[in-house]
Amino acid sequence: MFHPELRLLRSFAAIAAEGSLTRAAERLNLTQPTVSGQLKELEQAIGHPLFHRTTRSVALSVHGARLLPLVDDLLVRAERLRQEVEAMQSADRTRFRLGAAMYTMDLPERVALLDAFAAEHPEIGYSIDNRLQSAQIPDLVGDRLDVSVLLGISAPCVEPGMDATTIYNETQYPDTLDRVVLRRQAMNLLVPRGSPLEACRVIPRSALRGVRVAMINHEHGSALTDPIEAFFADCGAELVIPAEGNALAVERYAERHGICALGIGWFPVPPGLAPRAVEGLHFWLDFAVVLGRDANRAARQFFAFARRWQPAREATATGPVA
């Protein structure tokens, strides 16, 4: 069975084009004996002479003339393949896909990190995926997104009966993915302005009995929501989960209805609510750079930069970062 080797076919095509082994060797930057040996090897593999050779000329044989158009076409295709692969490799080195949900746009850590990276690596670009994190996380696991900046927690994300790669919530991402935490923010309770709870610097657990608390929904991940719900239930609070259960919507719902809300601590508080610490409420959300399972080279450079940049940033901060 014949398996064409490009180095042999290139020598054949060059000899045909130049009409001379010497000139073909010069064209290929090879020695004349090397080109002659490659032609001999190709003819032996095919089983037919490809040229009629005299002391003065080299002319295609019938078999050589039959094969030359196919060889030329194959070499053109091989060159296109080489160019395409090099373009892919160049893109792999100079561009990556960054997941960053729209609601993280104004977080100072995101702005500072991207500005610092652009200043140090102007040759590397990226495209931003602004979808919700619940759409980004499966792509990080499924090799379709290189890296993301996520507001959430790392946790085992497999639930009974679910496929190991199925991630469906907004703030919970697999603890198997590498990450760099940019900031950790404690949660609190948002209480109506003018309520007795506003007077407390730290609200005692006993003061929550019978208090209505608007809560984020379960799409945020059981690793996050279950322990929080258990905490408030143990305090005797009455949990309310609005139909629109994201953090911002929950806060606005609480303001409209004059009740308390879980505050995740990352966004401006509605004017009708005041943030207060609660005795024993020790939950938080991280803002982290999370590397995809099959991130390309440029994304890994970004991640390595974040890993160096964050400790340096903490060391020069005037106050605690995490």
Q: The whole model's pTM is what? A: 0.69
**Local structure of 262: helix, strand or coil:** strand
Q: Are 184 and 151 in contact (CB under 8 A)?
A: no
Q: Please indicate whether residue 158 or residue 27 has the higher confidence score (pLDDT).
A: 27
Query: What is the pLDDT at residue 144?
Result: 87
269, 274, 278, 284: CA torsion to nearest 10: 10
pLDDT digits (tens, 9 = 90+) for 167-212: 457 898 989 899 999 999 999 999 999 999 999 999 999 999 999 9
d(CA 92, CA 306): 18
Predicted confidence band of residue 223 (pLDDT cuts 50, 70, 90): confident
Going along the chain from its start, the domains and CATH numbers come out as 6-92 (1.10.10.10), 99-183+289-316 (3.40.190), 188-282 (3.40.190.10)
Contact status, residue 281 vs residue 231, Cβ threshold 8 Å: yes
Query: What 3-state DSSP class applies to 12?
Result: helix
| Residue 51 near residue 61 (C-beta atoms within 8 A) | yes
Q: What is the pLDDT of residues 43-69, one digit of tens each?
A: 999 999 999 988 778 999 999 999 999
The helix (run of H) or strand (run of E) holding residue 59 is: strand 58-60
**Distance of CA 225 to CAs 25, 158, 264, 284, Å?**
72, 15, 12, 11
d(CA 77, CA 72): 9
Distance CA 39, CA 50 (A): 8
> Is 202:211 a contact under the CB 8 Å cutoff?
no
